[in-house]
Structure 1
Amino acid sequence: MTDFSIQYGGHVSRARGDGRPVVALESTIVSHGLPRPDNLRVAREIEQTVRDNGAVPATIGMIGGRLTVGLDDAQIEHLAGADGVAKLSVRDLALAAATGADGATTVAATSAVAAAAGIGVFATGGLGGVHREANTTFDESADLTALSHTPIVVVCAGVKSILDVGATLERLETLGVAVAGYGTHRFPGFFVTDGGFDVDWRLDTPEQVAAAVAARADHGVSSGALVLGHPLPADEQLDPELHDRTLAEGLALLAREGITGKAVTPFLLAHFHDSTEGRSLAVNVRIILRNAALAARIAAAAAPAPSPLGFSIPA
């Protein structure tokens, strides 16, 4: 019988053995989130940003049915350039493995696999969430329910602004997912700095985030994620007026063409790219690089202190 156990890239195996901090990275941004050839360049920049900030990158994905934590450069290049790469949520992982598929993991799948691998911090761009008109379509990302039982810190720029931000925050509260702003009490809006809603908690340093993680573990009460909203500086956001106009046009196109389900997000992101003449892509790249840097600093702050004798001393 085939062994479908999680595989580990060599750099991740060495980091785990040495007790070094590791940051999980999704692969959908490589295969579905960014246009070619920018996707491969940005994927490499994300990994390097994690390294530059004191942690080891672990991009998660599936190659030929093998679920891997810590894809190597050739595997990342394959997902960036191959056609027919499946978009894998948690429910898809076993089916994709059984059929020998190439697949890129979403926020939900990346979080779940990272937690299973003992990785406590994950950097992404924006979360999925409750879609607009969900009161009639019931369209809601699996990211939300996955995060309700996955003990991981998710560093993000809020939920994608094409979604219903307020309804998403309500669902996260109902599901018991902790939400905090990094350096702010306002929840970020992905392309824009301010998503229009307050959050109850604010954390200001990587050490404070690490302390929250330690307190959660010590309490033994909550097993859900901590969503950390990390906003872009106002001078780096997409112009809010351009954002709102582009979003309204994109939503009208969705309705006219009858696009629903998994196709909504890539369609709207592509619409933003075309309509803003690439400005949204530049913002998207700034988002993920800033989040990767912060996630690495959090992972480093949360890592056990190294001992001069060569073994780890719990923090």
Structure 2
Amino acid sequence: MTEFRISYGTDVSHALRDGRPVVALESTIVSHGLPRPQNLRVAREIEQTVRDAGAVPATIGMVGGELVVGLDDAQLTRLATVDGVSKLSVRDLAVAAATGADGATTVAATSAVAAAAGIGVFATGGLGGVHREAAHTFDESADLITLARTPIAVVCAGVKSILDVGATLERLETLGVAVVGYRTHRFPGFYLTDGGFDLDWSLESPEQVADVLAARDGLAVHTGGLIIANPLPVDEQLDPELHDRTLTDGLARLERDGITGKAVTPYLLAHFHSATEGASLAVNVRIILRNADLAARIAVASAARSTAVAA
């Protein structure tokens, strides 16, 4: 009889055992978020960025029904290059495991698995959220409800600008998910430095984020995730006029082609890539590399704080 459990890569297993800093990474960006063959190259760059900042990368995914925290290079290559890799949210994990699927974990699934594995920091590009016209479609990412009940710190560039940013922030407030800007009081809009909304809180250093995480644990009051919104510098964002034109055209195409549900995000991201002649892809890569670096520095600061307290 098959035993279903989380498996760990060697480096991740040793780091968790020794209390060294670990950063969770999603695999959906590898299988569904970036085009081939750049996806595998960027996946390796993301992991190396985490290592260069002093932490251990733990890319999470499913290979042949085995849920792995810390994919090795062969497993990463498989998810980046084979066809038919499923996009796995939390609800899909058990079914995918039981049916022996290859699967890439979303923000929601990665957050849940990372927390179960004892990993407290996760780097991604942009969160899912409330979709436009959600009042009629009820289309809302599982990322939000998962973060409401999962004690993990997520470094991101806000939510994707293809979503309803204001409604997403309202839902996060209702769900009790804390959102802080990293050196900003404005919520970033993924491709754009400024997503158009203010934030109540701003933190200035990885050490300050580590203090917040320690306070959350020490106060022993149940809370969910902490979102650290890390905006691109203005000179690295996608040209705002190009962004707005591309988004307007993409939304019209969505309606024309009848695209709904979880197909919306990859459809629009592919449209951005095509319509901007690759400029959006370059921005996307800058986002995830910057977030991986910051997440690693937060993980290092948290580990150092824990060591100092224990001493």
TM-score by length of 2: 0.98
Corresponding residue for 1:96? Answer: 96
Change (3 A) 1:306 1:211: closer
What letter matches 1:12 in structure 2? V
Corresponding residue for 2:134? Answer: 134
- Equivalent positions of 1:1-315 (< 5 A) are 1-304=1-304, 314=310
SS at match of 1:60: strand
Check conservation: 2:176, 2:223, Cα contact below 8 A. Answer: no
After superposition, the C-alpha distances for 1:75-115 in whole angstroms (9 at most, x for unaligned) are: 00000001000000000000000000000000000000000
Change (3 A) 1:76 1:260: same
Check conservation: 2:192, 2:232, Cα contact below 8 A. Answer: yes
SS at match of 2:3: coil
Check conservation: 1:59, 1:71, Cα contact below 8 A. Answer: yes
> How many residue pairs end up in the alignment?
311
Identity across aligned pairs (percent)? 78
SS at match of 1:303: helix
Query: Cα offset for 1:305?
Result: 5.7
After superposition, the C-alpha distances for 1:123-154 in whole angstroms (9 at most, x for unaligned) are: 00000000000010000000000000000000
Q: Distance in 1 between matches of 2:33 and 2:310?
A: 38
Q: Which runs of 5+ in 2 are unaligned?
A: none
What letter matches 2:91 in structure 1? R
Check conservation: 1:123, 1:291, Cα contact below 8 A. Answer: yes
SS at match of 2:159: coil
Q: Which runs of 5+ in 1 are unaligned?
A: none
Q: Distance in 1 between matches of 2:82 and 2:193?
A: 34
Higher mean displacement: 219-228 or 69-78: 219-228
What letter matches 1:314 in structure 2? A
Q: Distance in 2 between matches of 1:305 and 1:109?
A: 28
Query: Cα offset for 1:20?
Result: 0.9
Q: Distance in 1 between matches of 2:126 and 2:310?
A: 32
Poorly superposed stretches of 4+, deviation over 6 Å: none
Check conservation: 2:210, 2:305, Cα contact below 8 A. Answer: no
Check conservation: 2:85, 2:102, Cα contact below 8 A. Answer: yes
Q: Distance in 1 between matches of 2:214 and 2:8?
A: 26
RMSD over equivalenced CA pairs, Å: 1.1
Query: Cα offset for 1:306?
Result: 8.7
Check conservation: 1:67, 1:97, Cα contact below 8 A. Answer: yes
Query: Cα offset for 1:3?
Result: 1.0
Higher helix share: 2
Check conservation: 2:126, 2:190, Cα contact below 8 A. Answer: yes
Q: Distance in 2 between matches of 1:157 and 1:151?
A: 19
Check conservation: 1:304, 1:314, Cα contact below 8 A. Answer: no
Query: Cα offset for 1:304?
Result: 4.3
Query: Cα offset for 1:314?
Result: 2.6
Q: Distance in 2 between matches of 1:62 and 1:111?
A: 14
Check conservation: 2:25, 2:124, Cα contact below 8 A. Answer: yes
TM-score by length of 1: 0.97
What letter matches 1:120 in structure 2? G
Q: Distance in 2 between matches of 1:222 and 1:282?
A: 39
